[in-house]
Every structure is written in C-alpha cells, then in structure tokens.
Amino acid sequence: MYDVIIIGAGPAGASAAIYTARGSLKTLVIDKSPNNGALAITHKIANYPGVQGELTGKDLLDNMREQAKSFGAEFIQTNITAVDVEGDTKFVFTADGMYESKAIIIATGSKGRNRMLPGEEELLGRGVSTCATCDGAFFEGKTVAVIGDSEEALEEAQALSKFASKIYFVVPRPELQNVHHMPELVNTEMRYKAKPLEVVGNGHVEGLRIRTGAGEEETLEVDGVFVFLSGSKPGTDFIAEQVPLDEEGYMQLDALMQSSVPGVFGAGEVRRTPVKQAVVAAADGAIAAMAVDKFINKRAQLIPQYK
C-alpha cells in the first residue's frame, strides 16, 4: 500500500513526487513513456527559474526525477490498463500487476494530434515548436511559420513578432476562427487557404511545404515552424467514467488541485490552464502534493515545505 500513486513523470508528476516523498509519504510514480512527453523532447530550455544557461528538457526532467528518488520516491515504467479510484483505496492496474494507494495524482499531460505533418515529429524541438512563449527567443532575427486558424495561433504569432524578422501565418481556412478583433501584426505575411503539407529539414527545420489557395505547391524557407492546429487533448480517457471532466476532457479541480472524488488530484495539462509551461506544471504538482499530505494526514490546512 502506497500513500500516493502519481500517474505521469513529466514536470507535474516529478515535482509532486519530490514534495510527497520529502514529506515522508510512500510514493510511486508510474509512466508508460517518461522520455516521450512534451518537455522530454524539448531540445533547448533557457527560461526555467534557477537554471542558468541552456539545457534539454530531458536533462531537466532527469534532474527532477533523481531529486525525487533521493527522497525515496519509486519510479516504474509500464502501461496502465485500468484504475479504480471510487473507494477509499485507489487501485491502479498495469501490465506488470496491481498497485494500491490512499491517494492518486493524475499528471498525464496532454495527447498530441492524431495526425502530424510529415517531418513534424522528427524535427520537434529542432525548429518545430508548439509554444512561442517557450521558444520564441531562440528565433531572434529569423524567419518562422505559424500554422493555425484559432485565437491561440493569433496570440502566439503576436508573441513571436517580438523576435522573428518575418512570420508566415499559414491559415488552412479562408479566415481565422472565432477572432472578433484582428490586431495589426508586424513582420507577418498572412497565407489564407494554405494547406501545410510537410516540414522540411535535415536535423533542423529548413522549410515548410504548403499548397496555396490556388492549388500550387510552394516551400517557404523558414528556420522554425510553430504548430497550433486543433487536436491536442488531456490524457484523461482512462478515468473518464470515475472523475468529473469538462466537455474537452479536462479534470475539474479546485484551487488545491482536488477533484470532487476524495483522494483524487490532478496537476499540469490535465487541468484547463491558459498557460502551458513546465514551471506552471511543476507548481501544480507541488500544490497537489501538499494537498495529498493534507488529505492523508487529515490536516486542517496545507503545511508548506520550506526546508
């Protein structure tokens, strides 16, 4: 019997494990593919607080996980087949056996789109990005493409305009969707009715092949491609029948990352948040961990760990 099982070993799950293990809670972290999450495949990080210089997302996660292990957290890699979280004891069924705990933290992040562009996956973190806030500064004075037709894509293009010398805004539809006010975009060339076909490059992004509204193929010479196409959803399918989710699959959590099911918590991209950043996910994990401590020890309030 564990005090807490954490599903997911990304920044939210690893951060939660640091706090629960250091708080003397018997902690198990389960992840089916710890090196394939959004942060793990990020090629360069330069804005994580307290970390000077650049490092890879995998390096940052390895540091977090080793820190959690140093406090006693256990990590296993396996596939989860089912969970039962409705009773006082939480059961997690995996390909390698069943595990029990008093509480559970869901930190499974989000699932990518079902279909990616050719070249997108291979060059992810090597010029392909899904976060202008994270990676925009790496493209100072360079040419980039933004793909999308949503308000999110528009906001990310605005953020990129502070760095990039030129932006190709590739919109697959005739117009942007649900955008009521179109701001002035500097250094930006709009390409409506343009279908993205392939991210081109050898080791790093060199171009984006598109089909124009006139039906002609063209390769845009760019140093980076920022993709904001719909399809990314929280990885909560396996708990859908047991924990309240909203219409898009996000967990419904309170300020302490608690669901309405006693002993079930969430952290990171399984909750609806306007900012998807590793530091935000890590903060979620810390809050969830302290809330688990409060729940298991029946405390009246959270006890922050200052030392």
pLDDT in tens, 281-306: 999 999 999 999 999 999 888 877 65
pLDDT at 111 over 90: no
pLDDT of residue 289: 97
Q: Between these two residues, 39 and 49, which has the higher pLDDT value? A: 49
Tell me what the pLDDT averaged over the chain comes to.
Answer: 91
From 224, 168, 217, 223, select the one nearest 195 (Cα to Cα). Answer: 217
Residues 237-296: pLDDT tens digits?
Answer: 889 889 999 988 999 999 999 999 999 999 999 999 877 789 999 999 999 999 999 999
Cβ-in-10-Å burial (0-12, 13-18, 19+) of 181 comes to exposed
Q: Which two tokens stand for residue 85?
A: 């979280």
Catalytic option among 135, 223, 284, 293 = 135
Catalytic option among 134, 149, 284, 293 = 134
Stated pTM of the model: 0.73
Cα 121 → chain centroid: 15
From 268, 269, 244, 265, select the one nearest 256 (Cα to Cα). Answer: 265
Cα 45 → chain centroid: 14
Report which DSSP code applies to 8: -
pLDDT at 307 over 60: no
Worst-scoring range by mean pLDDT, 55-64, 111-120, 154-163? 111-120
Instruction: Give the separation between CA 16 and CA 170, rounded to whole angstroms.
Output: 38
pLDDT of residue 233: 80
Can 131 be counted among the known catalytic residues? Answer: yes
Query: Going by C-beta distance under 8 Å and a sequence separation of 6 or more, which residues neighbour residue 207?
Result: 199, 200, 201, 219, 220, 221, 222
Task: Let me know how many helices (H) and strands (E) the chain has, helices first.
Answer: 5, 17
Instruction: Give the separation between CA 47 and CA 175, rounded to whole angstroms.
Output: 34
Worst-scoring range by mean pLDDT, 46-60, 82-96, 109-123, 142-156? 109-123
Element (H, E) at 303: none
Residues 186-226: pLDDT tens digits?
Answer: 999 999 999 999 999 999 999 999 999 899 999 999 999 99
Q: What share of the chain is helix, strand, coil (3-state, %, to 5)?
A: 20, 30, 50
Question: Among the residues of the chain, which ranges form H helices?
Answer: 11-22, 57-70, 132-135, 151-160, 278-296
Q: Which two tokens stand for residue 265?
A: 């918590």
Query: Going by C-beta distance under 8 Å and a sequence separation of 6 or more, which residues neighbour residue 137?
Result: 46, 47, 163
pLDDT of residue 55: 87
pLDDT of residue 114: 61
Give the rounded percent of residues in the chain with a pLDDT score beyond 90: 65
Domains of the chain: 2-112+232-296 (3.50.50.60), 128-227 (3.50.50.60)
pLDDT of residue 77: 93
pLDDT of residue 153: 87
pLDDT at 146 over 80: yes
pLDDT of residue 62: 94
Residues 55-98: pLDDT tens digits?
Answer: 888 899 999 999 999 999 999 999 888 899 999 999 999 988 99
Other CB atoms within a 10 A radius of the CB of residue 45 amount to: 20
Over the Cα atoms of the chain, what is R_g? Answer: 21
Confidence of residue 135 (pLDDT cuts 50, 70, 90): confident
pLDDT of residue 33: 82
Q: Rounded to 5 degrees, what are φ and ψ at 206?
A: -125, -20
pLDDT at 36 over 80: no
Strands 205-211 vs 110-111: parallel, antiparallel or unpaired = unpaired
